[in-house]
Amino acid sequence: MSHVRGFGRFWWDFVVGDDWRLAAGGLVALAAAGLVANTSIPAWWVAPSIVIVTLVASLGHATPVDRRDPHG
Amino acid sequence: MHTVVLAAAAFLACAVEMVEALTIVLAVGVTRGWRSVRLGVLAALATLALVVAVLGPALTVLPLNTLRVVVGFLLLALGLQWVRKAILRTAGYIPLHDEQKIFDREVADASAATSVAHGHFDWYAFTLSFKGVFLEGLEVAFIVVTFGAAHDDFSLMIGAATAALVVVVAIGALVHRPLSRVPENSMKFGVGIMLTTFGTFWGSEGVGVSWPGADAAILVLLVLYTSVAFALVRWLQRRGSDRLDTIGQAT
């Protein structure tokens, strides 16, 4: 049982890592690109835009202004 | 061009992870002796080769578009994590990776652990070196497998990863010290951007997106993500110094 839990834990850390928003954003980016690709609108811009918004959101969440390492 | 960028990403990812593994292996080897450490490293490399050998062909069984979506999503998730961490390190929000500090900590831990009589097998050294190489190598194995499957060329990716392994091990054997001068943060930054680029490209193709310029879109994505990442570093640095200025004026 502990091996199963360890295996699950590994995949969770691997895919989700420090911030679940990144994996969720990646999923939403591809799903939204797929939806737009099924219409007549060009869809190449969808995933990159969502990926960038996701990264900005994750960084914004990780860096409340007083968290900067004074020695960094 | 596409192939060169892929091979470079596999090479850099392997190099950066192997530098981290080398630090652990050197610390344990220097402190506890090399016999059990060598066996631990060989066992980990054999297990990683098995992972690649099993997972690689298994992935290629998937229909091409499904494979691209799965691989694209996993690369996006992994790439974004690496880019996020690299941006936070470069902007000064979390400390830079310091191999010398990690080496010193590992040496202290290995010295404090129970020693074994001369000639006996050292399970502590074996386990630590196995774990270090296996865990650091898993991400590389994953990158080799996914790039190989999506690009339908395993030999090139295995070649790039093996070349990086040989270079890092050779340097490690020569200097017998942690490779603290390797610009790990910059390398992780670059690899993270490459993983995010390929994840976006393949994942979008898998869900039915047509890229203008076909493969040339990879370079455009690479430039776009690199520019955004550097802009984010500057934004976070400015945000941090604005905050410090505000505190300075208030006190």
Find the angle CA(B148)-CA(B151)-CA(B153) to the nearest 5 degrees. 55
Name residues 5-24 of chain A within 8 A of B (Cβ). 10, 14-19, 22-23
- Chain A closest-CA separation from residue B240 CA (Å): 6
Cβ-based contacts of B88 with chain A (< 8 Å): 59, 62-63
Give domain limits for chain A. 2-62
pLDDT of residue B181: 66
Name residues 69-108 of chain B within 8 A of A (Cβ). 69, 72-74, 76-78, 80-81, 83-85, 87-89, 91-96
Sign of CA dihedral B230, B231, B233, B234: positive
Give domain limits for chain B. 2-250
Per-residue tokens: A3: 């091996």
Neighbours of A49 (CB within 10 A): 12
pLDDT digits (tens, 9 = 90+) for A2-56: 667 776 777 788 788 889 999 999 999 999 999 999 999 999 999 999 999 999 9
**What interface predicted TM-score (ipTM) does this complex get?**
0.86
CA dist list (Å): A43 to B40, B67, B210: 48, 20, 7
Contact A54 B211 (CB under 8 A): no
pLDDT of residue B251: 44
Contact B209 A27 (CB under 8 A): no
Question: What is the chain B residue with the closest CA to A34?
Answer: B207
pLDDT digits (tens, 9 = 90+) for B165-204: 888 888 877 776 666 666 778 888 898 999 999 999 999 9
Contact B208 A37 (CB under 8 A): yes
Count of A–B CB contacts within 8 Å?
134
Question: What is the chain A residue with the closest CA to B87?
Answer: A59
Q: B33 — alpha (psi -120 to 50), left (phi > 0) or beta?
A: left
User: Whole-angstrom Cα distance, residue B211 to residue B227?
Assistant: 20
User: Whole-angstrom Cα distance, residue B45 to residue B22?
Assistant: 13
pLDDT digits (tens, 9 = 90+) for B94-126: 887 777 777 778 777 777 776 666 667 788 888
A-interface mutation test, from B17, B67, B80, B131, most A Cβ less than 10 A away: B80
pLDDT of residue A26: 95
B54-58, B141-145, B190-194: range with highest mean pLDDT: B190-194
Residue B247 confidence class, pLDDT cut points 50, 70, 90: very low
Cβ-based contacts of B67 with chain A (< 8 Å): none
Q: Which amino acid does the sequence have at B40?
A: G
